[in-house]
Structure 1
Amino acid sequence: MRFSNSFLDEIRDRVPISAVVGRRVTWDRKKSNVPRGDYWACCPFHGEKSPSFHCEDRKGRFHCFGCGVSGDHFRFLTDLEGLNFPEAVQQIADMAGIALPQPDAQAERREKERTTLLDVMELAAQYFQEQLQSAAGAKARAYLRDRGLTGRTIETFRLGYAPESRNALKEFLAGKGVPKDQIEACGLVRHGEGIPVSYDYFRDRIMFPILSSRERVIAFGGRAMSPDAPAKYMNSPETELFHKGQVLYNFARARRVAQGRAGERDSGTIIAVEGYMDVIALHQAGVENAVAPLGTALTENQLDLLWKMSSEPVLCFDGDGAGVRAANRAADLALPFLKPGRSVRFALLPEGKDPDDLVRHEGRAPFDKVLSEARPLAEAIWMRETAGAGFDTPEKRAELEARLKQVVSVVADENVRRYYQQHMRDRLSSFFQGGNRGADRRGGGFQPRGGRPGQAPAAGGPRAAGRGLGISDRLARSGLVRGHRDLPALRESVLALTVVNHPQLLLDDYDEIAGIDFENRDLQRFWSCLLTVAAKAGAKLDRDYLREQMEENGFDALLSTMNQQIRNARLWTATKEADLQDVVQAYRQAYALHSRNKELKWQKIELEREIAEASVDEVERGSALTRALSEVQQEISRLENQEAIIDGFGVMSGRVKGAAVSHG
């Protein structure tokens, strides 16, 4: 049902978020400030030993500085406990002592019907389990025994058997008083046009119950016992309860393992394999954090489920041609949805092996080795696009650069896309400068499109400090490729030093400030260290402690340089003496200008690249690109002039302007 915003706000206001989160975590006494409603704990979403999970009653929000997860009361319950939104609202309303608004009659009837269907599915699951242990299930028991499954594993996963008879299950359910329309609604029989009398959907198959996030049976998978069956594996049809692309096999159990073993080997990791038997065999071998899609390629919804359990799930595919093609599809599926702290890794099994084969014959150790060699998504993309081909001509190198640009352009998050573009440019520069004229043909890699399984290139060569054969002159001159400049730009110094002198800014609005993207290499390292120090200090962060820690980490010279820049430019709002109210206002102005300036510069870079790549015959397109570039350049100039006027950024005096120009 839908809830009004006023109702949601009311129950949120009545229940401190710490009361919701506190049921699942232990607060850190040293870092938490209880009177202020400021709490810290080890993150329940990923395994860690030091508390980086922050919960603030005043804002009604939680945020983990380690894995990046954040949200409100409802998000905590839906993401951690697997509740749907109405269930999360019900829990918070109960804690607030407020009754939920009455649902309409139609919604209430639909929910009641759904509950009844779940009861029918439970009856079917029990029937299949009983049949497996009967005389009719002897052949199925022998098959499972030959696959190495123990009685305990069979019981844990509630495996069963569907008899050969066309009406065995239908007659059993009818005998329990289940009406015909409910049996049909559950997808347990085949019925409809051209079928005068319905009959059992599953016959002579080993049955795998498929559970919801609440661990209720919502569907079945069936493995045929007869070699002549038209389909070896078959799932229930789509029903009110079951939508195949939105479910992962073993989801609830794997989530508990990933979230419930702080500090252990499997903590925080989720492994996606290809089939039911892979999941079950891994579980029996001690790898209990595996899930599987239901016989189809991974979907967006299933990928989202994986990210709810782990910020970087491992996608493990068989080492045959089909497995490699599935890995390629999964890589393309994941790219558009990447965010800071959210990605995937890829593990390919030895050719001709699946997880079931590996652990049944050789135990867990070989599978753990495969996982330890899992490759990041960026590495998998690079290997796919470069393996199995030579790049001994300028045309082939240009083609590779264009293809990589096209592949990463689909990343929706601006920051992640920019870093992917930079990563690929660095790889290209290193690859070509290192003397690589063709792909390395060593085994063990991620297969390219159209290549042979197992082929992979190596990046090779030292990291390029300047321009490579695949990099344009303009790009080589940019801050992306050349070494860091001696001094940061004045605007960047203002942003960094203001936070050092007034760390309250960081405590009040961490997410926005932590995302600042500095161009200066020294400031990038400085900022990474500062955020780590702030996360460890928590609510007790203050100016003196922050400065002391930054100096101990070797940034005393940079702090001194930035302080001198600020003093020379007379930007008093960035100094420690400034009033916090004035600091906040000035900081927001500087941040807005910085963000807009970065955005425009990236637009300018991309437009220049497109103009350089445009054909001489594309007159109309070239003209449009040139006009767009001119508009962006004008906007950059306008912003620089505006920046110069605000707080004396250089126009007000010749000395200040000189500082801004020489250091920026």
Structure 2
Amino acid sequence: MVRFTPDFLDELKARLRPSDVIGRYVKLKKQGNEWAGLSPFSQEKSPSFFVNDQKGFYHCFSSGKHGDVISFLQETQRLSFYEAVEQLAEEAGLPLPVETPVEAARAEKAKGLAEACGAAAKFYASMLHRSDGRGAMEYLRGRGVTDEQINQFQIGYGPSGRNAVKDYLINQGFTDEILIEAGLVIKPDDGSASFDRFRNRIMFPIFGARDRVIAFGGRALDPNARAKYLNSPETPLFHKGSVLYNFTSARMAAAEDKAPLMVCEGYMDVIALWGAGIKRAVAPLGTALTEDQLALLWRASDEPVLCFDGDKAGIGAAYRSVDRAMPLLKPGKSLSFAFLPHGQDPDDLLRSEGVSAMNDVLETSRPLVDVLWEREITTRSLETPERRAALRSHLRDLVKAITDKDVRNAYGEELSQRLSAQFKPPPRERYDHGERKQWKPNPQAKRGGKPGQGFRFAAEPRPTPGLKGPSQWVREATLLLAAINHPAIVERHENAFFGLDLVDSDLKLLLAEVLTAISIDPALDSGGLKSHLSQTGAARSLERILNDSQLSKHKFLRPDTEIDEVEQGFMNALAHHLFESTHKQEVARSASQIFTDGDDAWKAATAAREELINSSKGAGDDSTDGGSSGGLVDALERMKQTVEKKFGR
């Protein structure tokens, strides 16, 4: 691409008055040495937008935007820098610079190809209104296409004759070689004479920069044609994956309406929407959206709306668009998705229910993250822990593919929260006749009563007396500090960390931040993790954990401890935590249920309780520092066997 030198740009801006260029888009009124108008960047009632011809710039006080005529076109018309310069140079009568003979030859060839395509478009347009084009016109009328739409999109007809456009263009002075390279005629490999590519087709010109025709799409009228739609081949002018049908016109309409671009499937959808007053629609040329096309869309709209049929094929196309877009997301740049009624495209919906129905569809468009989430939880079975772990792993891979760090962090946090909400474990409660119940002994009741007498319902079981050990906060903080000082432990025991059900709300928040950060950047070291956590809502919990004197006693929690020793300590701490927080409650609930079976059951429950107390002695604070947890686990198993043996449970 040609490089514009500072001298060329200065000459370009010297030839144009900013008020003339900007005045075509903003109504300006002279105020002293400046021109004033309403801001094109924000809604306002009093002018805060000023243009100074002497200094060659504009300034908008409401939005803070400032620049020259080039940046103005980039901002308001969504042009690239090259496109803005090209448009202004043509207006100023200033030839674009050509750096090398090769560039000059390429520019001259492109000019010749564009001229050939433009001449062909005029030929096709004229043929639509002749007797040869009667069938094409009848088809268009049957689809509700008006003369206004035909003229706006320069719709034409390619005659069925083998050499109709070729003979016309040759007579206009174009060579066979130019017509072949422009994709208008086909040269057979066997060396025989070339012939028209588009025959007996409704012709849709495809426009590039400066409204030049660069290619065509042709819709077959013969129902037995091999291809219903046929596009021009790749040429020096036309690269299918880099072009959107109606883009130049649509981006101007979007800028004027201050509304996002719409993306639909085909030419007829764009034309039908334009006829209904929705003039900001574009279409890819028969393929899924490419990276270049997404870049085009984001140049014109921060969040373009992709319209899809609500059937299986349409939803599949939407999912493919999600995968294509995710790695390319930038702050403020995303996609929305609008799903039409099953089996209908925009053209169908407009003809059957009118523009209000189409507007309703657009108003219910959904952000990309919602479509991604729905796909992941509805297209797979999630009944088992292994399948849920696979979902988590897959989502993490998708998030890692996002190039922009800020967007990657935001998606990691969002999906982590959705996973937590989706698979939050239910309360551990006993169900009896459809009611949630937990039994708790009434200390005022007398022993020897009838089965069930002397007990009341309670929200939580009473703590078992006689058990000594670290507090709940210390147990939970121990596991978290292991991860904070040694993030590698999370990868080694991923399921354990993601399955932790912490009671302390502050520690629960800290755990979520730790797992989100490590999921987004698995290579994160302890220093980087602490730095990140200090900027989150869990910063106070982090500071408390790092400065807790009881936690600092344990060697495996120190930052300089080898990872294998950390892992051993972590596993012992996890076993003790699970026993204290989960297994003990399960034993208590089992004992409570036994109580309802009568006086004999009371004795068994008492024995089980004594077994638990005796087996847990010595499980104090030091148990988290590499001590064995086998005694606790063995005690639990023995209790389970005792209950099963006596009561067949």
The Cα of 1:69 is off from its aligned counterpart by: 9.3
Aligned to 1:413: 404
Q: How does 1:75-94 map to 2 (within 5 A)?
A: 75-78=71-74, 80-81=76-77, 85-86=81-82, 88-89=84-85
SS at match of 2:211: coil
The Cα of 1:178 is off from its aligned counterpart by: 1.7
Distance, in Å, in 2 between the alignment partners of 1:475 and 1:39 is 61
The Cα of 1:197 is off from its aligned counterpart by: 0.8
Aligned to 2:178: 182
The Cα of 1:164 is off from its aligned counterpart by: 1.1
**Structure 2 CA distance for partners of 1:80 and 1:480, relative to 1, 3 Å:** farther
SS at match of 2:210: coil
Query: How many residues of Structure 1 are paired with residues of Structure 2 in the alignment?
Result: 466
SS at match of 1:197: coil
Aligned to 2:116: 120
Structure 2 residue 288 is the aligned partner of structure 1 residue 392? no
**Structure 2 CA distance for partners of 1:26 and 1:198, relative to 1, 3 Å:** closer
The Cα of 1:200 is off from its aligned counterpart by: 0.3
Which of 383, 390, 393 is equivalent to 1:402?
Answer: 393
Distance, in Å, in 2 between the alignment partners of 1:292 and 1:372 is 20
> Quick check: which has more Rg, 1 or 2?
2
Aligned to 1:423: 414
Percent identical among aligned pairs is 39
Q: How does 1:365-376 map to 2 (within 5 A)?
A: 365-376=356-367
What one-letter code is carried by the residue in structure 2 that aligns with 1:133?
H
Which of 509, 517, 531 is equivalent to 1:482?
Answer: 509
Contact 1:319/1:351 (8 A) holds in 2: yes
The Cα of 1:393 is off from its aligned counterpart by: 3.0
Instruction: Say which structure, 1 or 2, has more relative contact order (CA 8 Å, 6+ apart).
Output: 1
The Cα of 1:272 is off from its aligned counterpart by: 0.2
Q: Deviations over 1:584-626 (max 9, x none)?
A: xxxxxxxxxxxxxxxxx98996458988xxxxxxxxxxxxx6x
Q: Deviations over 1:426-446 (max 9, x none)?
A: 21222223869xxxxxxxxxx
Q: How does 1:107-506 map to 2 (within 5 A)?
A: 107-261=103-257, 267-433=258-424, 471=498, 473=500, 482=509
**Structure 2 CA distance for partners of 1:99 and 1:142, relative to 1, 3 Å:** closer
Aligned to 1:3: 3
Distance, in Å, in 2 between the alignment partners of 1:412 and 1:53 is 37
Distance, in Å, in 2 between the alignment partners of 1:410 and 1:397 is 20
Distance, in Å, in 2 between the alignment partners of 1:212 and 1:4 is 21
Decide which moves more: 116-125 or 90-99.
Answer: 90-99
Distance, in Å, in 2 between the alignment partners of 1:222 and 1:179 is 23
Contact 1:41/1:52 (8 A) holds in 2: yes
Q: Deviations over 1:259-317 (max 9, x none)?
A: 123xxxxx322110000111111112222111100111111111111112111100001
Contact 2:244/2:293 (8 A) holds in 1: yes
Q: Deviations over 1:216-266 (max 9, x none)?
A: 2111100111111110000011112111111111112211211123xxxxx
What one-letter code is carried by the residue in structure 1 that aligns with 2:372?
I
**Structure 2 CA distance for partners of 1:375 and 1:605, relative to 1, 3 Å:** closer
Q: Deviations over 1:532-563 (max 9, x none)?
A: xxxxxxxxxxxxxxxxxxxxxxxxxxxxxxxx
**Structure 2 CA distance for partners of 1:40 and 1:127, relative to 1, 3 Å:** closer
Gap runs ≥5 in structure 2? 428-479, 481-494, 536-649
What one-letter code is carried by the residue in structure 2 that aligns with 1:144?
L
Distance, in Å, in 2 between the alignment partners of 1:209 and 1:292 is 13
Contact 2:412/2:516 (8 A) holds in 1: no
Contact 1:202/1:222 (8 A) holds in 2: yes
Distance, in Å, in 1 between the alignment partners of 2:296 and 2:520 is 37
Contact 1:255/1:309 (8 A) holds in 2: yes
Q: How does 1:551-562 map to 2 (within 5 A)?
A: none
The Cα of 1:400 is off from its aligned counterpart by: 2.0
Contact 2:2/2:98 (8 A) holds in 1: no
SS at match of 2:148: helix
What one-letter code is carried by the residue in structure 2 that aligns with 1:204?
N
Distance, in Å, in 2 between the alignment partners of 1:168 and 1:41 is 52
Contact 1:276/1:292 (8 A) holds in 2: yes
What one-letter code is carried by the residue in structure 2 that aligns with 1:3?
R
What one-letter code is carried by the residue in structure 1 that aligns with 2:187?
H
**Structure 2 CA distance for partners of 1:172 and 1:24, relative to 1, 3 Å:** closer
What one-letter code is carried by the residue in structure 1 that aligns with 2:348?
D
Q: Deviations over 1:129-167 (max 9, x none)?
A: 121111111111111122121222222221111111111
Aligned to 1:42: 39
The Cα of 1:122 is off from its aligned counterpart by: 1.6
The Cα of 1:27 is off from its aligned counterpart by: 9.4
**Structure 2 CA distance for partners of 1:211 and 1:392, relative to 1, 3 Å:** same
Gap runs ≥5 in structure 1? 262-266, 437-466, 484-600, 612-624, 640-664
The Cα of 1:62 is off from its aligned counterpart by: 8.0
Distance, in Å, in 1 between the alignment partners of 2:239 and 2:379 is 39
What one-letter code is carried by the residue in structure 2 that aligns with 1:173?
L
What one-letter code is carried by the residue in structure 1 that aligns with 2:509?
R
**Structure 2 CA distance for partners of 1:94 and 1:7, relative to 1, 3 Å:** farther
